[in-house]
Homo-oligomer: A and B are copies of this chain.
Amino acid sequence: MVERQPGAEPRIHNLRESCTSCSLNDLCLPVALDAAGIETLDGIVQRGHPLVRGQIVYHPGKPFHSVYAVRAGALKSVTVTEDGEEQITAFHLPGELVGLDAIGFDAHPSTAAALETTRVCEIPFAELEGLSEHVHGLRRHLVRRMSQAIAAEQEMLHLLARRNAEQRLAAFLVHLSDRHVQRGLAATPVRLPMSRHELGNYLGLVPETVSRLFRRFMDHGWMSVQGQSIGLDNPGALRLLTRSSSQVVQEHRT
Q: List chain B residues, Cβ under 8 A from A201.
A: 161
- State the Cβ distance, A111 to closest chain B Cβ, in Å: 11
Which of B85, B104, B105, B110 is within 8 Å of A154, CB to CB? B110
A221-254 residues at the B interface, CB under 8 angstroms:
243-244, 246-247
User: How far apart sit A82 and B158, CA to CA, in the bound complex (Å)?
Assistant: 12
CB of A204 within 8 Å of the partner chain: yes
A140-157 residues at the B interface, CB under 8 angstroms:
140-141, 143-147, 149-151, 153-157
Total number of A residues with any Cβ neighbor in B under 8 Å:
43
Which of B79, B84, B244 is within 8 Å of A155, CB to CB? B79
Tally of this chain's copies: 2
Q: List chain B residues, Cβ under 8 A from A150.
A: 100-101, 146, 149-150, 153
Q: List chain B residues, Cβ under 8 A from A38.
A: none
Known: A104-B140, A150-B101. A243 touches B157 (CB 8 A): no
User: How far apart sit A81 and B82, CA to CA, in the bound complex (Å)?
Assistant: 33
Q: List chain B residues, Cβ under 8 A from A246.
A: 83
User: How far apart sit A92 and B161, CA to CA, in the bound complex (Å)?
Assistant: 19
Offer 26 A-B interface pairs, CB within 8 angstroms, sorted by A: A79-B155, A79-B157, A81-B244, A82-B243, A83-B243, A83-B246, A85-B244, A89-B154, A89-B157, A100-B147, A101-B150, A103-B146, A103-B147, A104-B141, A104-B143, A109-B147, A109-B151, A143-B146, A146-B150, A150-B153, A153-B153, A157-B157, A157-B160, A161-B201, A161-B203, A162-B204
Instruction: Known A-B contacts: A100-B147, A101-B151, A103-B146. Give 11 more (CB < 8 A).
Output: A82-B243, A83-B247, A87-B158, A101-B147, A104-B144, A104-B145, A105-B147, A109-B147, A149-B150, A153-B157, A161-B204
* Those 8 A-B pairs whose CB atoms lie nearest each other, nearest first: A161-B204, A104-B144, A160-B160, A83-B244, A87-B158, A153-B153, A104-B143, A101-B150
Binding site for B on A (CB under 8 A): 79, 81-85, 87, 89, 100-105, 109-110, 140-141, 143-147, 149-151, 153-158, 160-162, 201-204, 243-244, 246-247
